[in-house]
Structure 1
């Protein structure tokens, strides 16, 4: 398998574990897409499932072995041990929160994802083309968990190797995950059936097309309908001008003249009273 939903499947060879003499790790890589940071996105790759203890140093070594001229500038990664569902059909720019400070910092990536930034667009394109060629080959890159052989790195490497499950344990974990997925799927289908019988505030039952098979699709239709209604209401208000007809214009002018006349007469009465009290001072 070389590609999944637009992601290139990139295997690497890991160090031996207590269960397997040879272990493989699979990364899923594609070109990063972002409307907010287009310049950086054009020279970036988005990675799902980066290897354990993936750092700027190790990722540079990997791409240097794949394409020596593809220089890596930076790496943004989230490798926290959290349970997070990733939708591979969305733009990669939608997978992290917007930066509220406007600094362009990509620190809120979903768990188990990373963004590799290259020095320029050509280096990124070269790396992607070489990756596709690498995926078709038989020789695998040997991924080093840590670059320097220190006591800490050896301990981390051992901890990682111990985390690699045996085939039996892996099978049990996969079965459990599939059972949980089927439960969530059944619950989602039940909620979807309930949403198809929703009655809006006007008393109408929503009609859902056969192509809308998800809650997001139905909710999107509902929000889209409300937005269209708001736009139509605004257009209607703009069209409903108070002085459109001639009789409305005459009526409006008549009211204004009456207001002015009333104000003038009130002022006359006030001046008359001041004169009688000998308080009137026009200058």
Structure 2
């Protein structure tokens, strides 16, 4: 009997709750063979859901060259035509509805809370200021990375998952990167050449970024100091004043405290000096008394010796 060739194992449509969507990357000169990349997606289900959770889709094993443009084109042109609002990738900090990594947030008042400092911290999530110039014109992710795609509404998120499941079941070929030609900076050696050029930004742009950062930081510190002062001085509904610890103080108050500490140190040194002088005086007086006592004892001993000699008759008259 001639052995039958081993059949290619079928790719499952789902793994746990994830839909397995095969993607066909375009052939490259460095790797001209056709291959598939498997993207896993499902409705987002974090441990702590937010108001945006119902319209979010969680992606696993995104390609390393994935950008927001890629995912927008994927869902808009090949998976039902749904609209994407924002995309957040793994390893970036989430702020508001997107995922970014801000250097410092601009001053923006929010709703009042019970604590004044928390009031500022809650309302400080605004537009970013003082960001340093980027040194990469395009981000590359680690292998097997994740992303969260936020759609315009819940119906769009559900339709995106259904279309992905339908495409995987029917075996329809999904071309990765279709529709993004010419919209993104190139990869390969061109990316590193651009990185080398971006490492040396314009001095005026860099200085402006630093100035914006310091301005926002000074404003933030001023608001924080004001809120801490209010918390210290204003009693609550029960008549108690909040005791704060380790608070930052203004430069004027810091100089005033430094002056008070210096005056207090001078008073302590003067007092110590007076005490030491008084102690020296006591030592000198005590030594004088001891010397006088020794002299008195010596004279008393001489008188006793003379008296003993007279009694024994050993004294010779002159």
Larger Rg computed on CA atoms: 2
TM-score range, shorter chain: 0.3 to 0.5
